[in-house]
Amino acid sequence: MKSWICSKPGSVQDLECIDAPAAEPTAGQVAIRVSACGINFPDVLMIQGRYQMKPPLPFAPGGEVSGTIAAIGEGVTGIAEGQRVMATVFFGGLSEIVTAPAKTVVPIPDSMDMRTASVFQGGHTTAYYGLKQRGQLKPGETLLVLGASGGVGMAAMQLGQAMGARVIGAVGSMRKTDALKAMGFAEIIDLSTEDLRARLKELAPAGVDVIFDPVGGPLLEQACRSVARNSRVLIVGFASGDIAMYQTNLALLKESSVVGVNYQSFFQHEPAAVRQNFAELFEMYENGSIKPVIERVFAFNEAKDAFAAMSSRSIVGKVLVDVQS
């Protein structure tokens, strides 16, 4: 089978496409013939050796996939060969066939196409876990989303709205501002021309209730000075490349909670809650409240370009690789 391989931490340009032995499922696993693979910023960090989880070298990047069941390992029930599924694999997705624990596999609803399924999990599952379980977002509260045009940020924007919150997004360019406004999000702060704290004073003079931050860096402290009492600050990731230095006196003064959002840990330790979240997400997808926005699709032999596009920080929404093309 064809597989893109990272042999050493470094640049995405060092990835190699090789012929590898076909992946075979062991007990409790399934093999998935990959249709499409979603590309996310943690994949780039993993290739660079900067992500908190470091897979053994060499490895195939790509953490979320859609496809069909190609083979079933011993002891697996309730899944049939040929069934359409999506799976969070964390790495290995940029291969024609990938193995995954059967418990990580989720059937794709009939109404969802393979490309949408390949990017549904990485953004919406993380954002929903953050807003629901970790942030306990309530209807009528004000949600600030930093990095609102990225895959997980845009998912948080959609979900915040679906959960009945007032949603304010912050992005880094006029292009991203215009794109989000075209999607119906009225309150967007363009950080290339506007000051975050000044605009938050105008838009939310009483303060924001929940901050959703997949970006990190200096923006977090600015945002945390504009929160309401009993606010929740959700630490989702560090797409900026910088880990924010939070001033703990802000937690005291604002009576804020700073909460980590680690979907991988949630996925591992709370399977029943994971399944319930999926059921609710699919219901929102069916009624049109949420839908991944796919900006660019790359062929399998263009995988390096997909990672380069993600690294450029210019994408609005999601990037995927069509493995079958």
Q: pLDDT tens digits for 271-304?
A: 999 999 999 999 999 999 999 999 999 999 999 9
Task: List beta partners, residue 168.
Answer: 144
Instruction: Say if residue 241's pLDDT is above 80.
Output: no
Question: What was the pLDDT predicted at 319?
Answer: 95
Helix (H) or strand (E) holding 229: strand 227-235
Instruction: Say if residue 270's pLDDT is above 90.
Output: yes
Task: List pLDDT tens digits, range 159-204.
Answer: 999 999 999 999 999 999 999 999 999 999 999 999 999 999 999 9
Structure-model confidence comparison of residues 303 and 50, the more confident one: 303
Helix (DSSP H) and strand (DSSP E) numbers for the chain: 11, 15
Distance of alpha carbon 232 from alpha carbon 249, whole angstroms: 15
* Among the listed residues 87, 105, 80, the one whose alpha carbon sits nearest the alpha carbon of residue 36: 87
Q: Residue 41: pLDDT band by 50, 70, 90 thresholds?
A: confident
Mean pLDDT of all residues in 60-75: 97
Q: Which of 37-46, 48-57, 86-95, 274-283 shows the lowest per-residue confidence on average (mean pLDDT)?
A: 48-57
Question: What was the pLDDT predicted at 314?
Answer: 84
Distance of alpha carbon 18 from alpha carbon 274, whole angstroms: 34
Mean pLDDT of all residues in 250-261: 94
Instruction: Say if residue 136's pLDDT is above 80.
Output: yes
Instruction: Say if residue 246's pLDDT is above 90.
Output: no
Using the structure block, give the residue that is written with the tokens 């402290």: 221
Task: List pLDDT tens digits, range 139-166.
Answer: 999 999 999 999 999 999 999 999 999 9
pLDDT mean across residues, the chain: 94
Of all residues in the chain, the percent with pLDDT exceeding 70 is 100
Residue-wise DSSP of 44-92: HHHHHT-SSS-PPSSB----EEEEEEEEE-TT--S--TT-EEEEE-SS-
Q: Which domains, and CATH codes, for the chain?
A: 2-108+293-322 (3.90.180.10), 123-264 (3.40.50.720)
Question: What was the pLDDT predicted at 275?
Answer: 93
Q: Residue 223: pLDDT band by 50, 70, 90 thresholds?
A: very high
Mean pLDDT of all residues in 221-230: 94
Q: Residue 213: pLDDT band by 50, 70, 90 thresholds?
A: very high
Q: Residue 51: pLDDT band by 50, 70, 90 thresholds?
A: confident
Instruction: Say if residue 52's pLDDT is above 80.
Output: no
Question: What was the pLDDT predicted at 57?
Answer: 94
* Among the listed residues 35, 119, 102, 106, the one whose alpha carbon sits nearest the alpha carbon of residue 300: 35
Instruction: Say if residue 244's pLDDT is above 90.
Output: no
